[in-house]
């Protein structure tokens, strides 16, 4: 199952810099682990925003929920999740 997920990051301005840096380092390591495992095959930065558009490939919606819930930045994210399916006009299908 494919899902497009828009993640908008909203770190509190008064967040302790040490906590911020540690959280961002854990986020990077976790996201790269998921990318290497094929669960997070695409990630794009949204220009001009602290946000990204990502594609997740998972077996179930529950798996997606767990992957997102375990993101170190999860408490600071606004998420938009869209299930995807092939388009009948896609010439590569």
CATH code at 2-84: 3.30.70.1060
User: Following DSSP, what letter does each residue of 5-47 receive, concatenated?
Assistant: EEEEE---TTS-HHHHHHHHHHHHHHHHHHHHTTSS-EEEE-T
56 burial class (0-12, 13-18, 19+ CB within 10 angstroms)? Answer: buried
The whole model's pTM is what?
0.92
**Taking CA 76 as the corner, what is the angle to CA 75 and CA 78, rounded to the nearest 5 degrees?**
105
Summarize the confidence of residues 4-24 as an average pLDDT.
98
For 34-84, what is each residue's pLDDT tens digit? 999 999 999 999 999 999 999 999 999 999 999 999 999 999 999 999 999
Query: Could you state, in order of their start, the residue ranges of all structural domains in the chain?
Result: 2-84
């Amino acid at each position: 199952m494919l899902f497009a997920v828009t993640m908008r990051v909203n770190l509190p301005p008064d967040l302790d810099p040490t906590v911020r840096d540690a959280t961002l380092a854990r986020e990077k390591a976790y996201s790269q682990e998921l990318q290497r495992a094929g669960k997070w095959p695409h990630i794009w930065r949204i220009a001009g925003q602290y946000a990204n558009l990502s594609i997740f490939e998972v077996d179930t919606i529950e798996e997606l929920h767990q992957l997102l819930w375990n993101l170190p930045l999860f408490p600071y994210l606004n998420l938009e999740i869209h299930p995807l399916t092939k388009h009948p006009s896609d010439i590569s299908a």
